[in-house]
Amino acid sequence: MNKVPIQIMDLTTLKAVVFELKKDIVPSRFEKAQQIDSNTVQLGFRTLESLKWLEISWMADSPRIVEIHPPKKHGENSTLAKQLKHLLTNLALVEIEQTGFERVIKFKFSSRPGKEIEKELIVELMGRYSNILLLDKARKVITLGKQVKESQSRLRPIGTGDIYTSPPPLKGLVPDFSESFNSWKNNICLVPSTFKNSIKNTYQGISPTLTLQIAGKTYNEAMSIINQPVTNIQLKIWEKIYKRWREWLLDIENNNYTISFQGPTDFVVWGNLKPEVKCKNIGLILSTYYSNKILEKKLTSIWKKLEQDLKNSKNDEIRKLRIQELLIKNISEYINMQKKAQKLLSLKSPTKKQIIEAQNLFKEAKRKKRSRESILNRIKFHKKRISDIEYCELFLEELTYKEGDNNNNKLDSIIELKEEVEEYICIKKVNSKFKSNKRKEHSSNIKEIQSPSGLKIQIGSNNRQNEFISLKKRRKGDLWFHAQEIPGSHVVLKSSNGIFDDKDVQLAADLASFFSRARGSKLVPIIMVPIENLQRISGSLPGTVSHRGGKVLWGKAERAEKYFHQK
């Protein structure tokens, strides 16, 4: 899994969303508040038509204001959510204000439209300086998303009870649609630097995202321009950029916003877009974008940490195994010691010194022989631990093959695997940040495909799922498949539900080969066992089983991959 960058909600996107919100939720009555994490609140506003939900986040890498679909109940008891609900209940949202090129939005509340403003909710979307603050009539801070101490900002510390002060004014010139080409170009070129640095330092409201969008219509084209020194850019390129610049300013002036996911950045909310990519609600589309990106980032974070934990644990077990193997090699010399002692005692007239040496050799040989059994057990233990870790590595690798799954299902699977690793491999306390609420025994997240005869074939994605399909939910008549003597997923053909044929059995064997460590081999030996012949091995990882009997088949991973991705 690669690092997933998130496109920041810049000034243009913010203006597009605020423009929509003014039409959709002004006026409305505040009704609900909940906090879904330490940096995000969700607010419900009752309009004449329905309850509209807004998500506001001051998360450093993805600060945002977006409209969202009705969310699940979550975090209503957080201190901030309680304060917002208590202080804003029965008040009406009568105005949303955002001026110029500032990324500060003011939500103004009064008892009803036309009455005096009683509360202001200030949202500052400024990267790591983002925040949310609720003010009273005297513009005193009642509550806020995060306290800013003097050690964090000597320029603008702020906390509960302080009088609100606006962020420092923006530096640079205000972009102006009427500015001539020569004036605009000369201003940017005044201090020679790369285009991206010069335009950012010259004009207000210019984000890295907007710089790319103005510079070109494709990522490669835009990147080749923004990294050039302004003195090297040709006149015809300047003219194209100026034309895009004026188009951007005109769209802002006329509130002409659309959204497209084609262009030099993840999305663009201005410009001459094709009709098929236009939309009515940019905020809702952006909420889906941000939720997916944040989920991907969380997945990547857990995946990388889990991969590193498994790697460290495996290296540690290999190191310990080598130490024990070295010990057993030295201990194996006890037979030679016994022979040497016997040889000394078999002399016709051994001296006292030789007798004492022989006794010491026998004693040392006896000690080494006793230690041998203990060391062999340790070697067996470390080999089993390495095997368990390789199983977990395989399951982690398999997550990349779950292309049909949405990110929520992937997150559930990787959290399950993470908890297994922390409980059985790394022996850590489960981090509550990503801990699942309940360990439900359900099959909603089990990979399932249909066999040629219409029977279910289940595939485990981690040790608990292996145990679930192979032991807890087994039925007499089901068939169990597993790569022989190789780490892999359990595969269960639910043949107890109907009549199966050779094609079903072959597909199950192919799947067992594909979801195993031997995926790259042309043919993989697969053991097929009636599921009632399985028995859990106590004291081992969940899903660790032994079996009686069985038949060896040959699985072909390449064939299974084609079938799996067709489904």
Range with the poorest average pLDDT among 188-197, 323-332, 476-485: 323-332
Q: Across residues 26-51, what is the average pLDDT?
A: 95
Q: What is the mean pLDDT of residues 64-77?
A: 89
Higher-scoring residue by pLDDT: 427, 513: 513
Looking at residue 402, what is its pLDDT? 56
Concatenating the DSSP letter of every residue in 323-334 gives: HHHHHHHHHTTH
Give the whole-angstrom CA distance, residue 320 versus residue 115. 75
Tokens found for residue 389: 């870790």
CB 546 within 8 A of CB 535: yes
Which of 194-208, 249-263, 395-409 is predicted with the least confidence, judged by mean pLDDT?
395-409
The yes-or-no verdict on residue 428 having pLDDT over 70 is: no
403 pLDDT more than 70 = no
pLDDT of res. 437: 47
Confidence of residue 432 (pLDDT cuts 50, 70, 90): very low
Q: Which pair of tokens denotes residue 58?
A: 């001051």
Q: Where are the extended beta strands (E) located within 427-505?
A: 447-450, 456-459, 479-483, 491-493
Q: Is the pLDDT of residue 541 over 70?
A: yes
Boundaries of every domain in the chain: 11-144, 181-280, 301-425, 447-566
The model carries a pTM of 0.77
Bridge partner residues of 536 (DSSP): 545
Range with the poorest average pLDDT among 22-26, 257-261, 360-364, 437-441? 437-441
Whether the per-residue pLDDT at 508 is higher than 90: the answer is: yes
User: Residue 172 above 90 pLDDT?
Assistant: yes
pLDDT higher at 335 or 439: 335
* pLDDT value of position 404: 52
C-alpha distances in angstroms, 525 versus 359, 383, 529, 552? 53, 22, 13, 6
Asked if residue 349 has pLDDT above 70, the reply is: yes
What spatial distance separates the first Cα and last Cα of the chain, rounded to whole Å?
Answer: 23
For residue 436, pLDDT over 80 is answered with no
Mean of per-residue pLDDT scores for the chain: 88
Helices 208-215, 195-202: axis angle to 10 degrees equals 120
Q: Count of CB atoms within 10 A of residue 429's CB?
A: 8
Asked if residues 265 and 209 have their Cβ atoms less than 8 Å apart, the reply is yes
Mean pLDDT across 20-39:
95
CB of 94 closer than 8 Å to CB of 113: yes
- Say which amino acid occupies 102: E
Do the Cβ atoms of 95 and 108 come closer than 8 Å?
yes
Which amino acid would we find at residue 193? S
| pLDDT tens column, 264-278 | 999 999 987 664 445
SS3 category, 449: strand
* More confident of the two residues 353 and 227: 227
Cα–Cα dist 471/482, whole Å: 14
**Tokens of residue 533, six digits:** 């012949």
Higher per-residue confidence, 108 vs 397: 108
pLDDT category of residue 442 using cuts at 50, 70 and 90:
very low
11-144 topology per CATH: ibrinogen binding protein from staphylococcus aureus fold (2.30.310)
pLDDT band at 359 (very low <50, low <70, confident <90, very high): confident
pLDDT at 356 over 90: no
* Per-position DSSP letters for 108-135, written without gaps between them: EEESSTTSPEEEEEEEE--GGG-EEEEE
